[in-house]
Structure 1
Amino acid sequence: MMATTTTTTSSTTLTVRPSRDADIPAITALYAHHVRTGTASFEEIPPAEAEMAERRAGILARGLPYLVAESGGRLAGYAYAGLYRTRSAYRFTLENSVYVDAGMARRGVGRALMGPLIGLCEAAGYRRMVAVIGGTDNHGSIGLHAACGFRPVGVLPGMGFKFGRWIDSVLMERPLGDGSASVPAEIRPPQS
């Protein structure tokens, strides 16, 4: 089980903890902002709270982590890991998602979330984490993932069409634990 952690960056104090049902309204609002204003998500219509709750429940039902960061009692960001693909050969590979409140950008929220997220996934026996980043101009997300040990592995040009333009998908990945250096044991669901 993940313990709640408190981190102080140069400009803010953050508490990172497992998400709760009560976080859904704030998570929904934060994500809606990204859907409406950015290319981090290729969704074009923000999902309702019920849909966001269902998505979170699906992640948790698989024993995967879904974390939030708070600052001053307010949601500063959230991150989770989901299956990269559903075919059985991909069972050791996860895809991460991380969203930060626009007012908290560049204050260490993403890094504060990614460290525990990666640690929980490694502890569970997963071997790879993939980031699928919307837009080659999404320097914040690309930089965050590079700082967390991800390396670029490709760009899929023009994969999405949003805001009247074609948007690339940037693929980055990092090993978890031994990566592909050894034969994995079966997955132990993380306790978040």
Structure 2
Amino acid sequence: MLEEEYQPRRRLPPALRKREEPERGFEYSLRDATAADLPYIREIYNHYVANTVVTLDEDAMTLREWRSKFAWTQKLNYPFLVAVSPIDTILGFAYVSPWRQKAAYRRTVEISIYLGPAATGKGLGSALLGELIVRAKAAGIKEMLSVIADQGAEASLRLHQRFGFKEVGRLGRVGFKFGHWLGTVLLQKSIK
């Protein structure tokens, strides 16, 4: 090889370089979900049902099922949030639901957060989780739980850990989806 081949490439002076357009910030706002949002929430969720192991549901949820879930959270005064774009497109959602049916569990909830595929990796999950914690505390919630698949949900695990959720248990091989056994990781956060 010739010595010239090892020399670094020359760069144009800054004034002659092509200017890159600055990337517009990812814009969104958070608000309470409404019944009118449910078809879009269903669409986001059913994407994960059909394409991932993030949820162990195998059948797409119907609008009727989402209406029932939404009505239940509203009756309990639990937070159910959506993230929307500047033109009011639903980008993601987050809500809490009772951990168990027994009255003694009324201050313990399970959280769920789902983002539209184009909205991942932009800080939206953090914004939703942070607001969900604030609103859950205002609703009198004392313990928040999250059940996360032990495969294919590493970003979700990291997100929860950044917000102070601690791993409190694992269940191995409790779900079977897409021809594979899956376990779950149970995370918990106490709200003070």
Is the TM value for this pair above 0.5?
A: yes
The answer for the alignment partner of 2:74 in structure 1 is 60
Per-residue deviation, 1:39: 1.4
SS in 2 for 1:50: helix
User: Is 1:163 matched with 2:178?
Assistant: yes
Unpaired segments ≥5 residues, structure 2: 1-23
Structure-1-length-normalised TM-score = 0.83
Per-residue deviation, 1:154: 1.6
Please give the alpha-carbon distance, in whole angstroms, between the structure 1 residues aligned to 2:180 and 2:131. Answer: 35
SS in 1 for 2:28: strand
> How well do the aligned residues superpose, as a CA RMSD in angstroms?
1.3
Please give the alpha-carbon distance, in whole angstroms, between the structure 1 residues aligned to 2:116 and 2:152. Answer: 18
Larger Rg: 2
User: Is 1:141 matched with 2:156?
Assistant: yes
User: Is 1:37 matched with 2:48?
Assistant: no
Conservation of the 8 A alpha-carbon contact between 2:148 and 2:157: yes
Please give the alpha-carbon distance, in whole angstroms, between the structure 1 residues aligned to 2:130 and 2:68. Answer: 25
Structure-2-length-normalised TM-score = 0.83
What is the identity, as a one-letter code, of the residue corresponding to 1:29? E
Please give the alpha-carbon distance, in whole angstroms, between the structure 1 residues aligned to 2:108 and 2:173. Answer: 25
Structure that is richer in strand per residue: 1
Per-residue deviation, 1:22: 1.1
Q: Deviations over 1:56-93 (max 9, x none)?
A: 11111111111000123221110000111112222221
User: Is 1:51 matched with 2:54?
Assistant: no
Structure 1's consecutive aligned runs of 4 or more residues displaced over 3 angstroms after TM superposition are none
* 86, 102, 115: which one aligns with 1:87: 102
* 108, 112, 123: which one aligns with 2:127: 112
SS in 2 for 1:154: strand
Q: Deviations over 1:88-131 (max 9, x none)?
A: 22222111000011111111111111111111111222211000
Report the number of matched residues: 168
Please give the alpha-carbon distance, in whole angstroms, between the structure 2 residues aligned to 1:33 and 1:136. Answer: 17
Please give the alpha-carbon distance, in whole angstroms, between the structure 2 residues aligned to 1:38 and 1:135. Answer: 12
The answer for the alignment partner of 1:176 in structure 2 is 191
The answer for the alignment partner of 2:30 in structure 1 is 16
SS in 1 for 2:47: helix
Identity %: 33
